[in-house]
Amino acid sequence: MPGKFRFSFGPWNIHEGADPFGPPVRQSFTFDEKLSVYKKLGFEAVQFHDDDAVPDINRYSAKEALAIARDMKKRLDDLGLVAEFVAPRLWEDPRTIDGGYTSNDPKERRYAIDRSRLAADIAEELDSDKMVLWLAREGTYIREAKNARMMVGRIVDACNAILAHSKRIKILIEPKPNEPMDHAYLPTIGHAVATSYLTDDPDRVGALVETAHAILAGQDPSDEMAFALHHKKLWSVHLNDQNGLKYDQDKAFGSANLRMAFNQVRVLDDAGYGQNGEFVGLDVKVMRTQKREDSFRHLRSSRESFLLLLEKARTVDRKLEAEFIAERNYEALDAYILRHLLGANGPAKSRAAASSASGRVRSRLGSRRSAVKASRRNGG
């Protein structure tokens, strides 16, 4: 049954262009200015870090932070928006330079868990039942610094503490193999799903697949999504793109690997993703060269690319595809998919050409079988 898709992005997708080699190049947009463009661009939900909902979160008591979160909920309501999730931003605090949940310092581990509990409370104030854990610094620079087996246990302990604190919240683990750490303890979706089964409530621990993170791990994003879907644990996605095994680029969706993007859309649609309220999330960064007044184009174009690829996925001739698969004629299937994506032929012409190719294959196979039978009759 085809999926029904709604879209989200985080306010960090609209930024000032600073990178490790240069300062900001654009004037900032206020948070309210960012919120005002969501509906205009066709998005219904906001992805939050805890300090997006409560700026300077460490300055406030828990009671004060939740009061600020309630004000944010009113702003969302006024704009007809919802919060998709809240993620504790643990990687920027000085107390988490050695990891949050996996720090060698017990005081720093307590800070990370306490902040995560507060993030769960903020999510509930925003009427969201999802918390994303991007385990950015849950890894190591050198293997000898930490016991990897124990570190997985600490991540499980942290998840259990969050689950015990909030009976409503669902945890979505977002894996990434490296950056900012040299090596992450949960680098792929398989690691995330396996870890979910170790927690006290596996039904409330799932995953978020990000395109670029999967590519950085040497995986195909659609296969990572399919794996999580089979386990019924794909509860969100971060669609973007990535040009090879470089730094995390967060390119516009489909801009580097169009066929890979097509297969991500297809696997989501085929699985009925979205029917349980899941959002198609984007995590795409505006190029540093872009002018400030055109800082939203990457979001609009990524959403449009998804919808165009959705139309391509839904107009694949599945009967013809099945014939190619049955004949193990993957070359013909490959050519058909490429031409379908390129729009090289109209639907009727494309089917006719492909059916002709399929017929030729069947004819050759039939001739070969006849020759073998004749040879056997003649004692060959």
- What is the share, in percent, of the chain residues with pLDDT greater than 70? 90
Mean pLDDT over the full length of the chain: 93
pLDDT value at residue 346: 63
pLDDT value at residue 90: 97
For residues 233-250, average pLDDT:
97
Last residue of a domain, one of 263, 279, 314: 314
> Among 15, 19, 32, 49, which one carries the catalytic annotation?
49
pLDDT value at residue 374: 56
Of 301, 262, 308, 266, nearest to 285 (Cα)?
A: 301
Over residues 11-61, the pLDDT tens digits come to 999 999 999 999 999 999 999 999 999 999 999 999 999 999 999 999 999
Residue 51: active-site member: no
CA angle 51, 287, 209 (to 5 degrees): 60
Over residues 302-361, the pLDDT tens digits come to 999 999 999 999 999 999 999 999 999 999 999 999 999 999 966 545 455 555 555 554
Pairing between strand 45-49 and 139-140? unpaired
SS3 content of the chain, % helix, strand, coil (to 5): 50, 15, 35
Q: Is the pLDDT of residue 264 over 70?
A: yes
Q: Contact at 8 Å (CB) between 288 and 17?
A: yes
pLDDT value at residue 372: 47
Same domain, 326 and 306: no
Same domain, 330 and 233: no
Same domain, 285 and 358: no
The CATH number given to whatever domain includes residue 301 is 3.20.20.150
Same domain, 211 and 240: yes
Q: Is residue 345 assigned to a domain?
A: yes
Q: Is the pLDDT of residue 225 over 80?
A: yes
pLDDT value at residue 358: 55
Q: Is residue 278 assigned to a domain?
A: yes
More confident residue, 368 or 176: 176
Last residue of a domain, one of 272, 289, 314: 314
Q: Is the pLDDT of residue 362 over 60?
A: no
Over residues 159-181, the pLDDT tens digits come to 999 999 999 999 999 999 999 99
153 three-state secondary structure: helix
Contacts of 104 (CB under 8 A, 6+ apart): 98, 145, 146
Same domain, 285 and 368: no
Q: Is 17 exposed, middle or buried (0-12, 13-18, 19+ CB in 10 A)?
A: middle
For residues 112-122, average pLDDT:
98
Same domain, 235 and 111: yes
Same domain, 197 and 53: yes
pLDDT value at residue 26: 97
Same domain, 206 and 108: yes
Q: Is residue 55 assigned to a domain?
A: yes
- State the total domains in the chain: 2
Same domain, 339 and 194: no
For residues 294-299, average pLDDT:
97
Last residue of a domain, one of 297, 314, 331: 314
pLDDT value at residue 259: 98
> Among 50, 51, 52, 283, which one carries the catalytic annotation?
52
Q: Is residue 1 assigned to a domain?
A: no
Same domain, 214 and 353: no
Q: Is residue 2 assigned to a domain?
A: no
Within 292-346, residue ranges assigned H as helices are 297-314, 318-326, 330-342
Same domain, 309 and 329: no
Q: Which of 148-157, 179-188, 201-210, 338-347 has the lowest mean pLDDT?
A: 338-347
Residue 49: active-site member: yes
- What is the share, in percent, of the chain residues with pLDDT greater than 90? 89
Q: Is the pLDDT of residue 4 over 90?
A: no
Same domain, 243 and 363: no
**By residue range, what is the domain housing residue 282?**
7-314
For residues 103-130, average pLDDT:
98
